[in-house]
Structure 1
Amino acid sequence: MKKLAKLVSITLVSGLISSCTSEQVPVKNDRIVTNPIDLNYRFQPNDESRREAADPVLEYFKGYYYMFASKSGGYWRSEDLAKWEYIPCTTIPTMEDYAPTILVYGDTLYFTASSGNTRIYKNAHPEKDTWEEVDTKFEFPQHDPAFFKDDDERVYFYWGCSDVDPIMGVEVDPKDGFRAIGEPKALIQHNCDKYGWEVPGKNNEEPRQGWNEGPCVLKHNGRYYLQYAAPGTQYRIYGDGNYVGDNPLGPFEYVEDNPFSFKPGGFIGGAGHGHTFKDKYGNYWHVASMTISVRHWFERRLGLFPVVVSEKYGMYALTTFADYPFCIPDRKVDFEKEDINMGWNLLSYKKKVSSSLHFEGYEPELANDENVETWWAAQTGNAGEWLQIDLGKPMEVNAIQVNFADHNFNVHAPHDPVFYQYYIEGSTNGKEWTRLVDEEKNLQDAPHKLHTLNVPAKVQYLKICNTKDMEGSFSLFDLRVFGQGGGKVPAEVTGFQALRDNNDKRIYRFTWNPQENVTGYILRWGIQKEKLTHSMVVYENQYEARYFNRDSEYYFSVSAFNENGVGK
């Protein structure tokens, strides 16, 4: 979604949609994505049946992006960051350990994961499952490891995952079994009394230290950005912060505008324990953990966010509408000035819904509430189960994101691909229907698939119907519809107040006058008036946040948005 001044007209040219960037370079439909990333998230071997992937790391190697994530039984590769190929892995015995990390060194990719005894593996051809163990000489116990290779080919190793212990780092010699050179240094301590975002809890409210974890290092213009996550992976307020220094092992200074990767609102929240990398065109991205945490506190997904690294404004990930459709550029892009969002607005939020018979507590209204923690579930998994949304009037639909909830499944790893078969129809009157999406012969495990229509459809009603008998229930976290509402954007918000708590300056409380004809509001903030680098999507006209720095001063703004765009 764009501000009014940046709305882009959608033009169809030989099956292409005009670019979401200001230069109007054509973009293929298969480069349009959204979050969470649509992957074959694996069901876990134990506990309640649920999918999981988290703690991602991603590097470009020999023409492909390779992405590893916790508890995935393998890894993925991609040529374009949009389409992913899964590679099952059995030759790494520690593949089931949490928090993997990888290192590109010479013509080889190295892997290790979180464990008490570091075991490292290598593969010059990771498109094949042919990993070999390295004779490792690294002797320090570690959790949440991270490799970093400097421009001079020197390699450093970082780790940390604790509510007590600091983030640590040491130089290592990859030519000598990753033997540590010198003693490890403590680099980041806990400071939740100063930094509200390090405090655990759904709203940073628990009176204890959070977990500092998941380090990662990025070098930009000669400076080293040491990243870390806090306060816990199960919270929407999970984010990544930065310390910056002139040496890979510090000393490091806290970046006041932390956390740089943060997404507490929207359909799916969380943007922590991630990895910042550069694509083949030189653009920065951040891949991170996103949370569901209902069936299990480690029920998680992955998100991909563009990153700005600015000499003036520092580093920040663009997360405001990161769960709306955006395009993956095929060129160098200035993310500070060019918007890669497609300009399609959410049309489905809390519109009238109906469905086949459902379970109590899993009503159809939960399938368009913009909340991945709730879902609709039909009473069976039989063919013919359905859900329908009434948009209220005919609107131009450009894309539909289908988010399957796997309700009442009894699937555990190892398992075959779990795939849904279905179709989606559209109608202007609820009587005559046109098929917009046909997945009746689908054999791909795609639980968060974004269907981008080749030709926008002007419809008022949308209906998804199951066509495959399956165990469990046909169920949806949300059926999300994107396009153009054809009306007016909301008026400028009035009565905005930001009040800081007198007893705890980490807490702000915001209120404003309720607006008519709105979907929700975007609250923005930052430490520099001309660049508000953070945002939160709010659906009411009040909000309390506890994730601010105790000693920092902030600027704020609020704007309303609806199915037509964003107001002033």
Structure 2
Amino acid sequence: MNLQRTLTLLVASFIVSATLLAQSMRQDTYCNPLNIDYTYMIYDSSRDISYRSGADPAVVEFRGEYYMFVTRSHGYWHSKDLLHWDFVNPGKNWYPQGCNAPAAHNYKDSVLYVLGDPSGASSILYTDNPKSGNWEATPAILGDLQDPALFIDDDGKAYMFWGSSNTYPIRGMELDKNHRFTKKGETVPLFNLDMPKHGWERFGENHSDTILGGYMEGPWLTKHNGKYYMQYGAPGTEFNVYADGVYVADSPLGSYTYQKHNPVSYKPGGFMNGAGHGSTVVGPGGQYWHFASMALSINVNWERRLCMFPAGFDKEGLMYVDTRFGDYPRYAPGVPQKAGQFRGWMLLSYQKPVTASTTEGTFAPAALTDELNKSFWLAAANDEKQWVMIDLETPASACAIQVNYHDYQSNMYGRLPNLHHRYTIEGSLDGQNWTTLVDRKSSYKDTPNDYVELAVPTTVRYVRYRNIDVPTPNLAISELRVFGLGLGKAPAAPKKLTIDRKADRRDVQLTWTPVKGAQGYNVLWGIAPDKLYSSWMVYGNNELFMKSLTVDQDYYFCVEAFNENGVSLRSAVIHVH
């Protein structure tokens, strides 16, 4: 019997080891915000405010790899699959203070160009080997280039676009590519904000500020089927409604026409908000992807994270970005025929009870399951004795887990080497017998928004995080999110959707009958019944007041409900004049 028991234990140990090895190798999904080693900002160090941030991503493909340039990161990242990113420490001629709202452009796979000096005056840098970190600089200095965008057309003509203002428009000019990229011709104003017509361009959280004007910034030009799609960010990077809109033209300098479906990239609801000041790139298999900035804004307004969403152009040439369930697991860019699609794994941990080893001050563990990114749990110490446990209340199939760390009085500045997060996560059905779900004991990677897809879905009721080592002085976590499928029923479709478009046609009030057992709802809308490209996630409420519409545009709305077991059918689509 002892020999049989020993063999059984050895087999079980082998299965667990094989499962954890497979977990470390497999990743068919990803989850926003992106889990990269964000740089600590230095710009508020005089106020003893430490935070890491990433914003304004410029992503381009070059010779079969992808390069991502991010505001003031003191370097940049590269990836072969848009999923795993490695940092490049720059060498010769890189911006010593980090580039600001960078521009990047791949010219025929021969040269990669970048610019974005925070001063707004810079030469264009170029290289044929970006992984080396070494760059050359064109002799000419271009001025007044806040939030630049460089574009070289198929005919070899070069253009510069720029703009970051609540007053001035997005502007463009042609450059003489063969003469040091000097200005060629006149500066052309392309378009400006039109807040009296476009509700989503209004300033403030939920577009609620009626005094200050919104900001227009971050142009990015994408050419598709002979049309030029000029994307721009508005109304402010610190708000949940930060978004990207688009104008369309037949030539790079216009004239540009506002697309009827706008904003194209918009994520005002859910755990992580915002989807603005981005870039669009063709990824594996020809799938378009839109990278953008998300608002965190706990330590300072400019504390941000990065996101990516599948994007595309429909048969009428309308550009769209899919942000439905935008911070839930999605298929990774390398998954054929499914890249970017919502995986169907639901949030099991929402508002579930949490207990913790210790708590410091008022930063209680309940913050770990509230889906509010500005709240967090703070442990009394940062050591191996700290743990938190979520009770899912009923057994469910766990498929993936995301740990979102928070910087609380971190006192860290600049690009720091050898940062890492080490921990384990265990699951249990009875709270007594535990199985390892995630093993990061031997991980020496910097993973501030760690997302782990389990190799094998595991039925659990309790999920426990055990801390080993994090790089910050304090152990603080803003959200511990468990994804998978409950063993119950998905909610019924919402009924009695009523829509009241206000006298100010930018505003609309939506209400519907609460659905029994629903965690929350997705409000879906668009400019046609088959073009419901926009979505707004609402937790625990059966109404939504939106201030996002365009005055002279008809809209179509519907609502779907969701819980830990799945997503309902959609309500009937309602046409609103």
Q: Provide the TM-score with structure 1 as the length reference.
A: 0.92
In 1, distance between residues paired with 2:156 and 2:364?
Answer: 56
Q: What per-residue deviation string (whole Å, max 9, x for no partner) do you get for residues 219-256 of structure 1?
A: 11111111111000001100000100111100000012
1:290 aligns with 2:294: yes
1:32 aligns with 2:35: no
Aligned position for 1:354: 355
Is the CA contact (8 Å cut-off) linking 1:31 and 1:82 kept in structure 2?
no
Is the CA contact (8 Å cut-off) linking 1:197 and 1:546 kept in structure 2?
yes
* Amino acid corresponding to residue 101 of structure 2 in structure 1: A
Deviation at 1:475, TM superposition (A): 1.6
SS class of match (1:127): helix
Aligned position for 1:41: 38
Aligned position for 1:559: 560
User: Where in structure 1 are there 5+ consecutive unaligned residues?
Assistant: 1-13, 17-27
In 2, distance between residues paired with 1:33 and 1:451?
Answer: 8
* Amino acid corresponding to residue 112 of structure 2 in structure 1: L
Deviation at 1:70, TM superposition (A): 0.2
SS class of match (2:207): coil
CA shift in 2, pair 1:332/1:59, >3 Å: farther
Percent of counterpart pairs with the same letter? 38
1:195 aligns with 2:198: yes
1:116 aligns with 2:120: yes
Aligned position for 1:510: 510
Aligned position for 1:465: 466
CA shift in 2, pair 1:309/1:37, >3 Å: same
Q: What per-residue deviation string (whole Å, max 9, x for no partner) do you get for residues 462-497 of structure 1?
A: 000112376532221111111110211101112211
Q: Trace 1:206-245 onto structure 2 (pairs within 5 A).
A: 206-207=209-210, 208-245=212-249
Is the CA contact (8 Å cut-off) linking 1:381 and 1:470 kept in structure 2?
no
CA shift in 2, pair 1:89/1:427, >3 Å: same
Q: CA RMSD in A?
A: 1.8
1:168 aligns with 2:171: yes
Aligned position for 1:255: 259
SS class of match (1:365): helix
Aligned position for 1:412: 413
In 1, distance between residues paired with 2:548 and 2:27?
Answer: 37
The more displaced of 165-174 and 102-111 is 102-111
Deviation at 1:105, TM superposition (A): 2.1
Aligned position for 1:25: none
CA shift in 2, pair 1:429/1:440, >3 Å: same
Aligned position for 1:271: 275
In 2, distance between residues paired with 1:102 and 1:151?
Answer: 16
Q: What per-residue deviation string (whole Å, max 9, x for no partner) do you get for residues 193-221 of structure 1?
A: 11011110001121232000000111111
Equivalent of 1:177 in 177, 180, 183: 180
CA shift in 2, pair 1:89/1:488, >3 Å: same
In 2, distance between residues paired with 1:167 and 1:438?
Answer: 48
Deviation at 1:291, TM superposition (A): 0.8
Equivalent of 1:135 in 123, 132, 139: 139
SS class of match (1:515): coil
In 1, distance between residues paired with 2:167 and 2:395?
Answer: 56
Deviation at 1:435, TM superposition (A): 1.2
In 1, distance between residues paired with 2:318 and 2:249?
Answer: 13
In 2, distance between residues paired with 1:68 and 1:468?
Answer: 29
Q: What per-residue deviation string (whole Å, max 9, x for no partner) do you get for residues 51-94 of structure 1?
A: 11100001110121000000111100000111111112243125
Is the CA contact (8 Å cut-off) linking 2:359 and 2:380 kept in structure 1?
yes
Aligned position for 1:494: 495
Q: Trace 1:311-322 onto structure 2 (pairs within 5 A).
A: 311-312=315-316, 314-322=318-326
User: Where in structure 2 are there 5+ consecutive unaligned residues?
Assistant: 1-17, 570-577
Is the CA contact (8 Å cut-off) linking 1:383 and 1:469 kept in structure 2?
no
Aligned position for 2:305: 301
* Amino acid corresponding to residue 533 of structure 1 in structure 2: Y
Aligned position for 2:157: 154
The more displaced of 324-333 and 470-479 is 324-333
In 2, distance between residues paired with 1:117 and 1:368?
Answer: 45
In 1, distance between residues paired with 2:113 and 2:531?
Answer: 39
In 1, distance between residues paired with 2:227 and 2:488?
Answer: 47
Aligned position for 1:484: 485
Q: What per-residue deviation string (whole Å, max 9, x for no partner) do you get for residues 482-541 of structure 1?
A: 111021110111221111122x11111111122211110010111112221100000111
CA shift in 2, pair 1:460/1:340, >3 Å: same
In 2, distance between residues paired with 1:282 and 1:470?
Answer: 38
* Amino acid corresponding to residue 179 of structure 1 in structure 2: T
Q: What per-residue deviation string (whole Å, max 9, x for no partner) do you get for residues 344-379 of structure 1?
A: 111110111111221333111111111212111112
Deviation at 1:156, TM superposition (A): 1.2
CA shift in 2, pair 1:528/1:313, >3 Å: farther
In 1, distance between residues paired with 2:446 and 2:286?
Answer: 31
Is the CA contact (8 Å cut-off) linking 2:158 and 2:176 kept in structure 1?
yes
Aligned position for 1:19: none
SS class of match (1:459): strand
Aligned position for 2:72: 71
SS class of match (2:218): strand
Deviation at 1:29, TM superposition (A): 2.6
SS class of match (1:203): helix
* Amino acid corresponding to residue 392 of structure 1 in structure 2: E
